[in-house]
Amino acid sequence: MEGVLVLVVGACLSAGVAVAVAVAWLARTGLRPAVPAAATRQTASFRLAGVITGLVACGAAAASGALGRGLLLAGPVFGLCVLAGVMAGEISVRPAGGQTRTAVVEVRRVRDYLPRGLATAVTAAAAVLLAVVTVTTATARPDDLGRPGRVLLLSCGPGTWQARGPWPGSFYSVPLAAMVAAGLITAGGALRVVIRRARAGADPDAVAADDALRQRAARTITGACGILVAVPLAGVCLVSAGALLSSSCRPAWWIYAGWALLALLIAAGALTGWCAGVLLAPARAVTAARPAR
Amino acid sequence: MTARPSLIVDTSNPTPPYEQLRRQLAELIQSTALAPGDRLPPLRQLAADLGLAIGTVARAYRELESAGLVSSRRGGGTRVSATAPSLPDSERRRLLHHHARAFVRQAALLGADEQQILGAISQALAT
């Protein structure tokens, strides 16, 4: 069974890396509207700082925390740092001053800037994470040292019990839920900052370039949310599948549930790769002017 | 593609910024560049874009609401009223001539001749 798990984890990592490379390459060669170079550099610097801080914090979180709890929280910690970087970058973009100020008569909405496909995938992953964690939390029992929500208990006959762990019960799910909720609230705040940030002018080319910059920020926020959700989802699926499939006296349906969780693990890995590709894709400082009419 | 309408506020102009905003928005509504039902930018967004206080933009919106040009609803933002009066053709022509005369006067003060004035208009139309 361990061999199968290693194979699935390997497939998951491969899928993630492949998707990350594909997304980054497509973003590099895709035709995108112009982005002002100075603002792009400024926001990219903050974004990169967020990613680097996130990697360090993620490593620290993974190394700390008892019984794998830190490892489970590493993804959300990384996502939070990236979100903080995006917010700082957006706040750092100052509006054009001067005596004559211009503004376009428009209503900027979050949905105009969000990448639809990625946002849908991240929302679905969040819903799946919520569903899986709710079930695992409800079925978890205390371990042999009395720590609540750490193992799955299975009856193997009259008076015979088998404990399988670690199991993502409340021991893991409560801090995880707190971190993911904090991350999603931060993401909402970051999107508000992106929408409300002042435009640099009303000239059609400047508006198009500014829109491209906002779209880049919204993509990064969505990507960070994806990491925030997909990494713990992968961890929860891996641990749960391991517990379900390694039990010697399991009911038959546990096998199907275990394989379904492994399929989710691969999907979560692919989503993680997609989001990593979005986060790492360079935003080119294209200055080609589009036709005014 | 038609460019979206824009607003300009000149802080060195003796006319208060809220009045500059009110006047421009009223013109956009009366000329139907902003159609009935169109939503005006949220207060915070427009204030941030123009570098003005929220209260300044709010005052301009209140004045427009008093004139029956827009209506505000909690959660629904500020929209152009269905009953907002539009300019009759004669008034449009009068305003066009008025703005043309003002432009020509300013251009003449800058020392531009007729060819240069026509060239500037052609250039402005092309952008």
Q: What residue in B sits closest to A95 (Cα-Cα)?
A: B49
Best probe of the B interface among A106, A110, A191, A194, by most B CBs < 10 A, is A106
Chain-chain contact of A103 with B46 (C-beta, under 8 angstroms):
yes
Contacts of A107 in chain B (CB under 8 A): 39-42, 45, 77
Which residues of B are less than 8 Å from A211 in CB distance? none
Residues with Cβ within 8 Å of residue A154, at least 6 apart in sequence: A161, A162, A163, A164, A247, A249, A250
Low-confidence ranges of chain B (pLDDT < 50): 1
Instruction: Check CB contact under 8 Å for A207 and B11.
Output: no
Q: Does B57 touch chain A (CB under 8 A)?
A: no
Q: Is the pTM of this model over 0.95?
A: no
Residues in A touching B5 (Cβ below 8 Å): 104-105
Domain ranges of chain B: 17-80, 89-126
The token pair that represents A95 in the structure block: 């509006």
CA angle A239, A129, A23 (to 5 degrees): 95
Low-confidence ranges of chain A (pLDDT < 70): 1-37, 95-97, 282-293
Could you name the CATH architecture of B17-80?
Answer: Orthogonal Bundle (1.10)
The answer to whether ipTM exceeds 0.90 is no
The pLDDT assigned to A169 comes to 87
Q: What is the pLDDT of residue A34?
A: 40
Q: Are A224 and A244 a contacting pair, CB within 8 Å? A: no
B80 touches chain A (CB under 8 A): no
A265-288 pLDDT, tens per residue? Answer: 999 999 999 998 988 876 554 443
Residues of A in contact with B48 (CB under 8 A): 95, 196-198
Q: H or E element: which one contains B8? A: strand B6-10
Distance CA B63, CA B56 (A): 11
Q: What phi, psi does A84 have (nearest 5°)?
A: -60, -40
Contact list, A206 vs chain B (CB under 8 Å): none
- For A95, the closest of B10, B51, B127 (CB atoms) is B51
- Closest chain A C-alpha to B93 CA, distance in angstroms: 24
Closest CA to A228 of A69, A56, A75, A19: A75
Q: What is the least distance, in Å, from the CA of A197 to any CA of chain B?
A: 7
What percent of chain B is helix, strand and coil (3-state, nearest 5)? 55, 10, 35
Q: Among all residues of chain B, which has the CA nearest to that of A99?
A: B11
